[in-house]
Amino acid sequence: MSNEATLHGHPEVTTHDVHLDEHGVHHHKETFITKYVFSQDHKMIAKQFLITGMVWAILGALMSVLFRLQLGYPDTTFPWLEDILGSKWAKGGHIQPEFYYALVTMHGTVLVFFVLTGGLSGTFANFLIPLQVGARDMASPFLNMLSYWFFFTASIVMLSSLFVESGPASGGWTTYVPLSALADASDGSRAGMDLWISSMALFVVSSLLGGLNYISTILNLRTKGMSMTRLPLTIWAILFTAILGVLSFPVLLSGLILLLFDRHAGTSFYLDKIFIASTQQALPNEGGSAILYQHLFWFLGHPEVYIIILPAMGLVSEVMAVNSRKPIFGYMAMVGSLFAICVLAFLVWAHHMFVTGLNPLLGSVFVLLTLLIAIPSAIKVFNWLTTLWRGNLRFTPGMLFAIGFVSMFISGGLTGIFLGNSTLDIQLHDTYFVIAHFHIVMGVSGMLGMFAGIYHWFPKMYGRYLNNTMAYIHFWVTFVGAYLIFWPMHYEGLAGMPRRYLTYSNWISFNQFADLNKFISTVAMVVFAVQLLFVFNFFYSIFKGRRVVSQNPWGSTTLEWTAPIRPGHGNWPGEIPEVHRWAYDYAKDGREFIPQTEPLGSNESAH
Amino acid sequence: MILERNSQVNDQRKKIHPHKFTLWVALGSIIMMFAGLTSAYIVKRNMGGWTGFPFPRAFWYSSAVILVSSLTVQMSLRAFRDREMQKYRNLITVTAVLGLLFVFLQWLGFRSIWNSGITLHGSGAGQFLYVIAGLHAVHVLAGVVALIVMFIRAYSARIRSYDSTPVELMSTYWHFVDLLWLYLFIFFMSIN
């Protein structure tokens, strides 16, 4: 079972069948600890990632509700806030500026890294890769377990930063220098920032261990007959996600190591000629470059948004084909566009830095490369719509979330074209327009894609269904609510309303938005409440949900539905199924679907 | 189960061992980390306040040491394949000692730069060198730890292994940190 067994594989074992009786079925001893805590089963690790991600999602969303309370009702006092949070953070029932900055910083960090990277990739890469490529487990189950526990430790460190006296990191989730490098510049740049860096370093290690495993499992452990072009699109998407992560996270780590030296060792990689008002002191640091940090940060930061969206795209493609009862439209174009996005992801990072004094010529190169992303994105959208077109649609909750994803991705993608232009960016940079853009195209889309995946594969994970009524309420309120929250922000942004401000009441020009902000905040609270309904549905259904009685409840072609309803460690009793066709044989030869394991008929040619 | 998977890998697909493949991807990841740091160095060099450092002689010696250690790790792999276990154990011991010697020489090099007045205060080549070469030394030390683990395994009577994969993984990693240092050596020598 252990890693050693793989390392010291016995060379005398030459055929599949010899060891079937001993190893096909799993009767190794499992204690509570090895089954639920330090598990090396990819399915359990996936569930651990999912539930940890859900805890983070609730916390992160709660933070947004708190700061929306401030933004929507800047003049109202909420004495209960002081009761809960104490007088340091919410004096007199008002959210204090330091706390507000801490909230927006942690909201971003938590959602981007812990929910939509750890929670999303961690869950579905772990769960789906071995099941869909036809492997017993990951290439290295041990590294996989380590990956989760590094994630868990990173979570604990980040969580603990909320409770240190000077508060958590509060310079924004990008932790730009010099603010993040100087403890005297802001309370959040004291212990909270060190914990932030430590937590992120652990998170990077977790991502790398996971990513290495995902890549080598997909490329090396596919079952017989599973050629790359027979893989479901989920696996392709996860493969490109993992490649992005493995190549970009180390660069973030480099940047953070230099930041750590600037903070504690007196180096000046990022610091140059600084006078701190709070201590009335000029710093000795000279020669550093704050822009250098931004380059290093965004070299990860931009691929990071594709690390979030690519798995969601993969999940949506699969859920959509299954529930349209049609092959995915343009399979190779889907793979090609994923590849194109993966390459372009590394070539556009400076579009986050148009207003840093970037050379305009260089800027125009980045504009061009950025706008090029519209092409693969449009290919994907076209293919999703043509998959739906004249399909035999089944509006399962997973399918609704998948369609919602496409809607959000289009809406958010269009504003990306605005922001990708360096000239327009002068007006739009750091306004609510940017907030609206990335929340719709990355945040909400990512979440909807994740929900599509959870609703679709929950029966495989737990052998039970989620409650449909709660699911439909969850979908419609979330979907409509997300548009109601973020659509109006475009108008605020176009009017020049800057992001990250505690209050706008000092600007007469933004007073017109007071009611709009109140509206947005109210909707945000409703949407948050509905997420709690989903959480209830999730845990209730694990124990009390309707049981899955058939092996393949969605009528899907892929391999995971050939495994038992509640697969043990090793996934398939007996031999791993052999694959004879691609993953999208729906509505073919008068049949609703043909599983990948079915041999080709005499009238068929290989796909 | 794992055995079955192994047979599946070795006999059906005739592919690279998944652990070896994982290592290659991991090396790509480490390359990106050092690429990030050395490109930061180049960007920073073109800005004001850049200072160089006297190139220490110790780095020449350390380069020679790590080159020799690459040779010994390769010889240990061959010894393992030929089932010459005593020779194998001796050679990985020599490799580990050379690894430690390398780190010691790096430290001597750092000290000579430090004594020339280049401390952590500042933003020039010296400060970058401490961070970059320091991180490289950490990677070498990680290799030494792995060698010690393999050394203990080679002496353990209970584990009798005939699979050369771990030794191959080790030697690949060791050659990698060797090449990485040679890159950094040439980098710091030519762009100072």
For the stretch B112-121, pLDDT in tens is 999 999 999 8
pLDDT at B159: 60
**Segment holding A588, helix H or strand E:** strand A586-588
Residue A21 has pLDDT above 60, yes or no: no
Residue B17 is predicted with a pLDDT of: 85
Q: Does residue A528 form part of some domain?
A: yes
In chain B, the number of structural domains is 1
Whether B162 and chain A come into contact, CB under 8 Å, resolves to yes
B65 has a pLDDT exceeding 80: yes
pLDDT tier, A536 (very low <50, low <70, confident <90, very high otherwise)? very high
Q: Which residue of B has its CA nearest to A2?
A: B2
Give the B window 48-87 contacts with A, CB below 8 Å: 48-50
Is A444 contained in some domain?
yes
Rounded CA separation A46/A460 (Å): 12
CB–CB contact B123 A251 (8 Å): no
Does B120 lie at the interface with A, CB-CB under 8 angstroms? yes
User: Which residues, numbered 528 to 587 in chain A, qualify as contacts with chain B under a Cβ-Cβ cut-off of 8 Å?
Assistant: 569-570, 576
Q: Reply yes or no on whether the pLDDT at A17 is more than 70.
A: no
Q: Distance (Å, rounded) from C-alpha A301 to C-alpha A304? A: 5
Q: Is A287–B50 a contact, with Cβ atoms under 8 angstroms apart?
A: yes
CB-based contact B124 A257, cutoff 8 Å: no
Asked if A228 is an interface residue toward chain B (Cβ–Cβ < 8 A), one would say no
Q: Is residue B14 part of a domain?
A: no
Question: Shortest CB distance from B36 goes to which of A23, A139, A251?
Answer: A251
Cα-Cα-Cα-Cα dihedral sign, residues A320, A325, A329, A333? positive
Residue A443 belongs to a domain: yes
Which pLDDT score is estimated for A459?
A: 97
pLDDT value at residue A286: 84
pLDDT tens-digit map of A236-259: 999 999 999 999 999 999 999 999
User: How far does the CA of residue B25 sit from the closest CA of chain A (Å)?
Assistant: 6
pLDDT for residue A430 is more than 90: yes
Cα–Cα nearest to A223, from B4, B8, B83, B88: B8
pLDDT classification of A160: cutoffs 50, 70, 90: very high
Instruction: For residue B138, list chain A residues with Cβ-Cβ distance below 8 A.
Output: none
- Tell me if A8 is assigned to some domain: no
Determine the pLDDT at residue A29.
67
Q: Which domain holds residue B64?
A: 26-39+52-190
List chain A residues with CB under 8 Å of B1: 1, 23-24, 26, 136-137, 569-570
Look up the CATH number of the domain holding residue A579. Answer: 1.20.210.10
Q: Report the residue from A14, A221, A250 with minimal CB separation from B7.
A: A14
Query: Residue B6: which of A6, A272, A289 has the nearest Cβ?
Result: A6
Task: Look at residues A418, A529, A423 and name the one whose alpha carbon lies nearest to residue A473.
Answer: A529
- Using a CB–CB cutoff of 8 Å, tell me whether B43 touches chain A: yes
Q: Does B46 touch chain A (CB under 8 A)?
A: no
Distance from CA of B105 to the nearest CA of A (A): 23
Total domains present in chain A: 1
- Residue in B2, B10, B23 with CA at minimum distance from that of residue A130: B2
Instruction: Decide: A484 and A348 in contact? Cβ < 8 Å.
Output: no
Residues 317-336 of A with CB under 8 A from B: none
CB-based contact A181:A267 (threshold 8 Å) = no
**Residue B151 located in a structural domain:** yes
- The pLDDT mean for chain A works out to 92
Distance CA(B40)–CA(B60), nearest Å, equals 24
Domain annotation covers residue B3? no
What is the three-class DSSP state of A78?
coil
Position B95 in a domain: yes
CB contact under 8 A, A287 and B30: no
Identify the weakest region by mean pLDDT among A115-119, A434-438, A444-448, B13-17. B13-17
Q: Which comes out higher in pLDDT, residue B12 or A156? A: A156
Question: A12 to chain B: nearest residue by CA?
Answer: B7
Q: Do A253 and B124 touch (CB under 8 A)?
A: no
Say what the ipTM of the complex is: 0.89
- A138 located within any domain: yes
Q: Chain A residue closest to B17 (CA)?
A: A220
Q: Does B165 touch chain A (CB under 8 A)?
A: yes
| Averaged pLDDT, A512-528 | 96
Q: How many CB pairs under 8 A join A and B?
A: 189
CA angle A372, A373, A375 (to 5 degrees): 75
Tell me what pLDDT residue A505 has.
87
Asked if the C-beta of B12 comes within 8 angstroms of chain A's C-beta atoms, the answer is yes
Helix count and strand count (H, E) for chain A:
20, 4
Q: What is the mean pLDDT of residues B161-184?
A: 92
Interface contact flag, A287 B47, Cβ < 8 Å: yes
CA geometry: angle A29, A32, A36, nearest 5 deg? 110
Residue type, B4: E
* Nearest by Cα to A239 from A153, A341, A170: A341
CA distance B101 to chain A (A): 25
Q: Please check whether residue A336 lies inside any domain of the structure.
A: no
Least confident stretch, A396-400, A485-489, B153-157, B164-168 = B153-157
Under the banding of pLDDT at 50, 70 and 90, the label for residue A605 is confident
For A345-373, give the secondary structure using H, E and C: HHHCHHHHCHHHCCCHHHHHHHHHHHHHC
Q: Which domain holds residue A492?
A: 43-324+355-593
The per-residue pLDDT for A304 is: 95
pLDDT exceeds 50 at position A177 = yes
For residues A42-70, average pLDDT: 96
Question: What is the distance in angstroms between the Cα of A241 and the nearest Cα belonging to chain B?
Answer: 14
CB proximity B155 to A under 8 Å: no
Nearest to A251 among B21, B33, B128 (CB): B33
DSSP A187: G
- Tell me what the mean pLDDT of segment B140-160 comes to: 84
Pair A428, A415: CB distance under 8 Å: no
Contact between residue A490 and residue A433 where contact means Cβ atoms under 8 Å apart: yes
Residue B159 lies in a domain: yes
> Which CATH number covers residue B99?
1.20.120.80
Encoded amino acid at A77, one letter: T
Report how far apart, in Å, the C-alpha atoms of A113 and of each of A71, A156, A196, A446 are. 24, 14, 12, 12
- Measured between beta carbons, the chain B residues lying within 8 angstroms of A255 are 36, 40
Q: How confident is the model at residue A525 (pLDDT cuts 50, 70, 90)?
A: very high
Say if B142 is an interface residue toward chain A (CB within 8 Å): no
A210 within some domain: yes
Report CB contact under 8 Å: A247, B12: no
pLDDT on residue B18: 84
A79 contacts chain B (CB < 8 A): no
- pLDDT of B51 > 90? The answer is no
Q: Contact at 8 Å (CB) between A328 and A391?
A: no
Residues of B in contact with A216 (CB under 8 A): 18-19, 21-22, 25
CB contacts of A212 in chain B (<8 Å) are 22, 25-26, 29
Of A19, A208, A251, the CB nearest to B4: A19
Q: What's the CA gap between B2 and B4, in Å, rounded?
A: 5
- pLDDT above 90: percentage of residues in chain A: 85
For residues A88 and A86, give the distance between their C-alpha atoms in angstroms, rounded to a whole number.
Answer: 6
Mutation for B interface: A41, A147, A289, most B CBs within 10 A: A289
Do A431 and A515 touch, CB atoms closer than 8 A? no
Is the pLDDT score of B61 beyond 80? yes
Residue B121 near chain A (CB below 8 Å): yes
> Does B20 fall in a domain?
no
Q: How does the average pLDDT of chain B come out, rounded?
A: 88
Contacts of A576 in chain B (CB under 8 A): 8
Identify whether B76 is part of a domain. Answer: yes
Whether B27 contacts chain A with CB within 8 A: no
Residue A446 lies in a domain: yes
Give the C-alpha distances (Å, rounded to integers) separating B126 from A31, A42, B42, B83, B141: 53, 45, 13, 46, 22
